[in-house]
Amino acid sequence: MNIYTFKHEADFNATGAGLIASLLHTKPRSVLGMATGSSPIGIYQRLIEMNRQGLVSFAKASTYNLDEYVGLPEGHPESYRSFMNEKLFNHIDIKMENTHVPDGNAADLEEECRKYDAMLEENGPVDLQILGLGHNGHIGFNEPGESLIGGTHVVELQEKTRTANARFFPSLADVPTQAITMGVGSILKAKQILLLVRGEDKAEIVKRALKGPITSQCPASLLQCHPNVVVLLDQGAGGLLS
């Protein structure tokens, strides 16, 4: 695991974007695993600039997002599909049909999970999986518990997660109670993982995830088992690592 801590946001973003761009240079048909949340936004902005300047192309790439809320109306500003379109896809040369986000409005959610796994199986493995980190150690929406699920599945969101994400909704009551998420098994199949964490409020969970015991009570701790993980932290998030 290679852990880098950055003093300046611009360096954090340039490093993350540079890693993704160099992968696309080597392999234009890369399969990218995408994440939402605030941590990757600056990297997505940097990639948009690089794409405009002709420094990177997504024309042959495909993407698979980690997760999506269940039951938000189509086009809802806080759906992860809307987030990805607004923050990245609408501004780069990717073909929209090559971008995939689980459908949180599918009539049969279990069937949607099976379809998503089948697509990942057929088009994967993911070359680079971007991840954020929840305050409770979740990755995607894999919440801590007695056990973890390998494949894509429907999850009940924990109160801590709903509260953390309430900042994007009019009130806590508006935050969906369920989501579809890729499982920890699918995440660990990626050839390389790029974990992005920002903020002092994440310092404790960063330490537990990267240096603590490997346990389903902290899903991100399973990343310690993966052979190729790059972690980018700002000073706040990295504050408790020696």
**Does the annotation mark 143 as catalytic?**
yes
39 binds ligand GLP (CB under 6 A): yes
Q: What are residue 193's DSSP bridge partners?
A: 129, 229
Stretch that binds ligand GLP, among 34-42, 44-52, 93-101, 143-151 (CB under 6 A): 34-42
**Does the annotation mark 13 as catalytic?**
no
Nearest to 44 by CA among 20, 8, 22: 20
CB of residue 184 to ligand GLP, shortest distance in Å? 13
Region of 127 on the Ramachandran plot (φ > 0 left; ψ -120 to 50 alpha; else beta): alpha
Query: N- to C-terminal Cα distance for the chain?
Result: 15
Using CB under 6 A, pick the residue from 31, 35, 206, 231 that binds ligand GLP: 35
**Does the annotation mark 49 as catalytic?**
no
Compute the distance between CA of residue 19 and CA of residue 94 in angstroms, rounded to an integer. 18
38 binds ligand GLP (CB under 6 A): yes
Q: Which is nearer to ligand GLP, 23 or 137 (CB)?
A: 137
Tell me the backbone φ, ψ of residue 155, rounded to 5 degrees. -130, 145
**Cβ-count burial 90-120 (b if 16+ within 10 Å, e if not):** ebbebeeebbbbbbbbbeebeebbebbbeeb
From the candidates 67, 68, 117, 234, give the one annotated as an active-site residue. Answer: 67
16 binds ligand GLP (CB under 6 A): no
Q: Which is nearer to ligand GLP, 165 or 192 (CB)?
A: 165
What residues line the site for ligand GLP (CB under 6 A)?
35-39, 66-67, 132-134, 140-141, 161, 165
Residues that are catalytic: 67, 136, 138, 143
